[in-house]
Amino acid sequence: AQTVTQSQPEMSVQEAETVTLSCTYDTSESNYYLFWYKQPPSRQMILVIRQEAYKQQNATENRFSVNFQKAAKSFSLKISDSQLGDTAMYFCASNSGGYQKVTFGIGTKLQVIP
Amino acid sequence: DVKVTQSSRYLVKRTGEKVFLECVQDMDHENMFWYRQDPGLGLRLIYFSYDVKMKEKGDIPEGYSVSREKKERFSLILESASTNQTSMYLCASRGSRGGWNTQYFGPGTRLTVL
């Protein structure tokens, strides 16, 4: 069974600053994928960034990057130059290979302060 | 753009009523999912379907059933609604390339059972 843990229920950051959201996971699979999803207030959940476990290089998408520490089973999300539109719930998620089920963490509510 | 739509944004029902939540996707995705989202619990998988007429239980299937008669449509049924089923319900779809594929989410249905 997979588990995903997000230990920061709420965070805040000043506009233009950098913030890091933590996520740890546990899986017995050797091949798996990790995701960060964003759910803005009253809007649909969308993918922010994803990482394949067998790739050493950390994924980046514009201002979003991850710090993937496979041995520690850690997958944190760094948001640089935070913008007001980054205010949202952020969910860390994982799934294994071709298996259809995705396991989500409980989410971190991020508030960007002007 | 992938579009996942849900039949209602807000729904209020009485205890004991039969409730249908509809989800439609327009990307010919094989896989569709129903989650419920509760504060402090994140997203929990209720059921998923990997093909027409095929379904599998997720983590919390009790009190729910599903139907997938057409590829684009996945319905969640509450046979006899109870107050503990008051929640946000999210539908998602995903293509068949396995674990790498992102899930695309609908806007959610906030169900209140009185």
CA-CA distance, B18 to B9, in Å (whole number)? 18
Quick one: pLDDT band at residue A24, thresholds 50, 70, 90?
Answer: very high
Most B-contacting residue of A100, A103, A106, A108 (CB-CB within 10 A), to test interface: A100
Which pair of structure tokens corresponds to residue B88?
Answer: 């946000």
pLDDT higher for A2 or B113? B113
Q: Give the model's pLDDT for residue A2.
A: 80
- Res B2 pLDDT > 70: no
User: Which residue shows structure tokens 């798996």?
Assistant: A32
CB-CB: which of A44, A96, A105 is closest to B42?
A105
- Percent of chain A topping pLDDT 70: 96
Q: Encode pLDDT of B44-54 as tens digits.
A: 999 999 889 89
Contact call for residues B4 and B71 (beta carbons, < 8 A) = no
Q: Give the model's pLDDT for residue A99.
A: 57
Q: Give the model's pLDDT for residue B106.
A: 95
CB-CB: which of A37, A50, A106 is closest to B40?
A106
- CA geometry: angle A83, A88, A91, nearest 5 deg: 120
Q: Encode pLDDT of A28-53 as tens digits.
A: 887 888 999 999 998 899 999 999 88
Q: Give the model's pLDDT for residue B87.
A: 97
- Contact (CB<8Å) B103/A47: yes
- Res B97 pLDDT > 70: no
Q: Give the model's pLDDT for residue A32.
A: 87
Contacts of B49 in chain A (CB under 8 A): none
Q: What are phi and psi of A3, to 5 degrees?
A: -135, 150
- Contact (CB<8Å) A100/B31: yes
Contacts of B55 in chain A (CB under 8 A): none
Q: Give the model's pLDDT for residue B6.
A: 96
- CA geometry: angle A9, A110, A61, nearest 5 deg: 120
- Res A98 pLDDT > 60: no
- Number of CB atoms found within 10 A of residue A29's CB: 14
Q: Concatenate the DSSP letters of all residues of chain A into one string.
A: --EEE---SEEEEETT--EEE--EEE-S-SSEEEEEEEE-TTS--EEEEEEETT--SPPEETTEEEEEETTTTEEEEEE-S--GGG-EEEEEEEEETT----EE---EEEEEE-
Q: What chain B residue is nearest to A10 in terms of C-alpha separation?
A: B40
CA-CA distance, B9 to B109, in Å (whole number)? 4
Q: What are phi and psi of B84, to 5 degrees?
A: -75, 0
Mean pLDDT, chain A, as a whole number?
A: 92
CB-CB: which of B45, B56, B99 is closest to A32?
B99
Q: What chain A residue is nearest to B108 in terms of C-alpha separation?
A: A44
